Amino acid sequence: MDNACIESFFLHLKVETSYFTQCKTAEELKQTLEEYINFYNHKRFPKRLNQCAPIEYRSTLAA
């Protein structure tokens, strides 16, 4: 259970980015990963976070 957040992130990464196989260079893979991490933290709105992006949800908890 200690790694539940990380395991969840990597599960979503694997499922939602099946197009990684289209990357032909390490630079393309790096760019794709950066884009996904930005999407995951700022534009993805899971139900369990009350339809908030993770960054937005964390901000509401800290306030």
Q: In a structure prediction context, what are the per-residue pLDDT tens digits for the chain, which is 63 residues long?
A: 568 878 888 888 888 777 677 889 999 989 988 988 888 878 776 666 666 676 776 677 666
* Helices (H), ranges, the chain: 4-16, 26-42, 54-62
Global pTM value: 0.63
End-to-end alpha carbon distance in the chain: 26
* DSSP designation for 47: G
Domain spans of the chain, in order of start? 4-62
Q: How many other C-beta atoms can be found within 10 angstroms of the C-beta atom of residue 40?
A: 18
Q: Are 23 and 32 in contact, with CB atoms under 8 Å apart? A: yes
